[in-house]
Amino acid sequence: MSRSKDNNLLVIGGEPAVDLLPPEVHRQRRAKVVRRHLGLGVIGTIAIVVVATGASVALAMLAQSQLETEQALTVVLAKQQADYAEVRIVQGEVALATAAQQVGVSTEIDWKKYLEGVQAVLPASVTISTVAIDSATPLAVYTQSTAPLQGDRVATVSFTAKTSALPDVPTWMNSLATLPGYADALPATVTRSESGVYTATITMHVNDAAYAHRFADEEK
């Protein structure tokens, strides 16, 4: 019969065991185990620090590499911008010329086409002999009439029409009113020559609906 030294239990028929070592030996052994555990802990901590430091260095190196790549790309882009500087200058000049073109034609009326329209609405026996045109420009506002019943205008067309038949001026006025940009029209004089030819002078005012808008499609 013996008593276990680990759990102080009574063991029947067991090997007799007696611990004759002094307590100092047991304390040294336990201290050695603690030191070994502490040593392993320190080694583990150092390993973690080394790994973390290495990871930080790797990340720093990666960030530096990316920075250098971005800097190199910036240099390339700057060089490309310098290469295309002349193109941008030309584009600016083209845009300026286009804007000037738009301003230049902003008050343009296709007078050839418009006068052909005037001739077309008049009777076939009527021939336009003289034409005088006064129109607005991009640099000046067209003078408006102070007389009542006269609409806004951007141009004035005075023409002389000849016909061998007695002029039906009211019908002519109604026909002219169908033209685009028509504002109003005033008959001035009607005379008859010795040969029987009638000459009528008419002054017609035109509004901005008659503008040609020549480059409107290009803007779109």
pLDDT tens digits for range 53-107: 877 877 888 888 888 888 888 887 777 777 777 777 777 777 766 666 666 667 8
Quick check: 141 pLDDT over 70?
yes
Can you give the pLDDT at residue 205? 94
Angle between helices 85-104 and 23-83 (to 10 degrees): 50
- Please enumerate in sequence order all residues whose Cβ is within 8 A of that of 220, keeping only pairs 6 or more positions apart, or say none: none
Residue among 147, 154, 113, 130 at smallest CA distance from 202? 130
Quick check: 177 pLDDT over 70?
yes
Can you give the pLDDT at residue 16? 56
User: Where along the chain do its domains lie?
Assistant: 21-105, 111-210
Quick check: 178 pLDDT over 80?
yes
Averaged pLDDT of the chain? 80
Would you call 56 helix, strand, or coil by DSSP? helix
Cα–Cα distance between 58 and 213 in angstroms, integer?
Answer: 66
Q: Which fold has domain 111-210?
A: Alpha-Beta Plaits (3.30.70)
